[in-house]
Amino acid sequence: MDGMFAPVYAITPAIAKALMSIEADRQAVAGLPIDVTVLAKLRETARLVSTHYSTQIEGNRLTQDQVKEAVAGARIPGKERDELEVRHHYRALEEVEKLAAKGGLLTERQIQRIHGLVMTGRPTATPYRDAQNVIRDSGTRGIVYMPPEAKAVPGLMADLVDWINKQLDEGDLPVPVIAALAHYQFATIHPYYDGNGRTARLLANFILHKASYGLKGIYSLDAYYARNLEGYYAGLTVGPSHNYHLGRAEADVTGFLDYFCVGMADAFGAVRVQAAEAAKRGGEDRSDALRKLDPRQRRLLELFKKQETATAEEIAVHLRLSHRTVVGLSRGWLKTGFLELHEPSRKRRSYRLGRAFQPLVA
């Protein structure tokens, strides 16, 4: 494909209905006052759910409970690779939210950094593939899809990023449509040997957060994908041929757009109900402050919500970490002001939440 990405699609009645539902739910949730601790729990749950299902689609064997334990630092014998995969994906989700909050134009390097986190857990930009790759059926080994040649990938990715920035700037297309089409095109270009699906879903998530469709960070589209995998792959598999250069590039992607928007409407509707219940507790939304905390710090807020002070042993039990690990973490948290010493003596040492962070559990 030469020039700017020019997707072929139609806004069907079903898509239009889904878009109206998404917008109504977005506006409703945005206006709800949710207790900060409840919001933190909802956001953490959404991240864990997204991590579980996005990696499950790619074959990860961890259960939802094991994903939570792995992200918190627990070791699961025999599933070390799965542990790393979910920890990496969780970090990538956090990076997506941070990048979206910073504003500015989307860049290829940001996408490459997100992919780096997905694959290695480090925000190091990974280069695109340098050779042809082929997607085969795991059972028959027949070719399911042949992506564009490696030499075409840089130009296609540049076109896609330019298209996303242009659409977000002009505001003519509904944001969910931009996110869906970006997801489709990234998966179609298949710029990497591995990690394309996870990165495509994170890219769609980035666009939604960037354009104020983050829904306070308490939704997950990945659960919908995983529970409707047949529709997911059917929407991505379009055109007269499995070869990108023989029709896939110009194929009508209305099917995937329908799948994405209907699923997003379903997810947003569920969050609206959940958020309305949470809002009954009232409270001020301190999303920005919470976003700066890492997963362990956010979990620790739950403990300080219940009690004013805590010993290292109590923190270790709450976070499911060793005492030695907690002592090391506490030193860093004291330096940053997240924690303060309540009782300084070595034998009876205990901590309280730093003054600047106490409003998060007030």
CB 246 within 8 A of CB 149: no
Question: For every one of its 362 residues, what pLDDT tens digit does the chain have, with 9 covering 90 and above?
Answer: 445 788 999 999 999 999 999 999 998 888 777 766 677 778 888 899 999 999 999 999 999 999 999 998 888 899 999 999 999 999 999 999 888 888 899 999 999 999 999 999 999 999 999 999 988 877 788 888 899 999 999 999 999 999 999 999 998 999 999 999 999 999 999 999 999 999 999 999 999 999 989 887 888 899 889 989 899 988 888 888 888 888 887 889 999 999 999 999 999 998 888 878 777 665 555 656 677 788 888 888 888 888 889 999 999 988 888 888 988 999 999 988 899 988 888 778 899 988 888 888 76
307 has which bridge partners?
A: none
Sign of CA dihedral 176, 268, 293, 48: negative
pLDDT value of residue 264 = 94
User: Cα 76 to chain center, whole Å?
Assistant: 23
Q: Do domains 13-279 and 293-360 have the same CATH topology?
A: no
DSSP type of residue 121: S
Compute how many other C-beta atoms are within 10 angstroms of the C-beta atom of residue 158.
13
pLDDT value of residue 277 = 78
pLDDT value of residue 83 = 94
DSSP string, 36-58: HHHHHHHHHHHHHHHHHHHHHHT
The full set of domain ranges for the chain reads: 13-279, 293-360
Q: How far is CA 159 from CA 5, 125, 150, 209, 249, in A?
A: 6, 19, 15, 21, 13
Cα separation, 187 vs 7, whole angstroms:
14
CB 327 within 8 A of CB 312: yes
| Rg of the chain, C-alpha, whole Å | 22
Domain 13-279 has CATH 3.30.70.240: no
Predicted structure pTM score: 0.77
pLDDT value of residue 209 = 92
**Six-digit token string for 114:** 């997100």
pLDDT value of residue 259 = 96
pLDDT value of residue 121 = 93
CATH of domain 293-360: 1.10.10.10
pLDDT value of residue 284 = 52
The 3-state DSSP class for residue 143 equals strand
253: CB partners within 8 A, 6+ apart: 7, 8, 9, 181, 184, 235, 238
pLDDT value of residue 282 = 54
Cα separation, 72 vs 321, whole angstroms:
8
Helices (H), the chain: 13-30, 36-57, 64-71, 80-102, 108-120, 153-170, 175-189, 196-210, 222-227, 229-236, 254-279, 287-291, 295-306, 312-319, 323-336
Residue length of the chain: 362
Compute how many other C-beta atoms are within 10 angstroms of the C-beta atom of residue 305.
18
2: CB partners within 8 A, 6+ apart: none
- Burial code (b: 16+ CB inside 10 Å, e: under 16) for 193-204 equals eebbbbbbbbbb
CB 209 within 8 A of CB 96: yes
pLDDT value of residue 79 = 93
Edge-first strand listing for the sheet containing 339-343: 309-311, 350-353, 339-343
CB 46 within 8 A of CB 29: no
